[in-house]
Amino acid sequence: MNTINYWLMKSEPGVYSISDLQNQNQTIWDGVRNYQARNFLRQMQIGDLAFFYHSNAEPPGIFGLMKIVETGIADPTQFDVNSKYYDDKSTPESPRWQTVKLEFVEVFNNPLSLSTLKQNFHGDELLVVKKGNRLSVTPVIESVGSRILEIARDT
């Protein structure tokens, strides 16, 4: 039996929001240029769930849920000389940056603000609440992922 893993993925709502994903239904998560975050993207499996976190927002927090529907995609922005994510050391034969395709699942009726997350979880459970953590893609342990869903869906 395959295990469904949980992830947290950050985006600034002015750049790409949960509403943008809802309107498009699917997207690739491009532009990640941190090796640790890239390695987390490489670990994702089809069917895994990811929490959509709005960073640099008021309030910042988890606003919805996505599902990984394709993995092992070469991030096309690394080859685009006009992109701020261009990487001149990357080639189509040997891409340095991979990404995943995500599908919209839901917008939470009760978004979980960062302060709510800090009240319910500590940094060893959920990296986004850990002081100094700036990674845009992080794993979420199963028990924490289940609890986030409970809190977000509790009306």
**What's the pLDDT score for residue 66?**
98
Q: How far apart are CA 94 and CA 38, in angstroms?
A: 15
Q: What is the dihedral of CA 4, 104, 128, 11, to 10 degrees?
A: 140
pLDDT in tens, the chain (155 residues): 567 799 999 999 999 999 999 999 999 999 999 999 999 999 999 999 999 999 999 999 999 999 999 999 999 999 999 999 999 999 999 999 999 999 999 999 989 999 999 999 999 999 999 988 889 999 999 999 999 999 998 85
How many residues are listed for the chain in this entry? 155
Residue 155: per-residue pLDDT = 55
Tell me, what's the pLDDT at 2?
61
* Distance separating alpha carbons of residues 31 and 38, to the nearest angstrom: 10
Measured torsion, CA atoms of residues 146, 151, 153, 154, in degrees rounded to the nearest 10: 130
Q: Please state whether the predicted TM-score (pTM) of the whole model is above 0.75.
A: yes
Strand-pairing partners, residue 91, are: 94
Tell me the C-alpha distance between 99 and 37, whole Å.
10
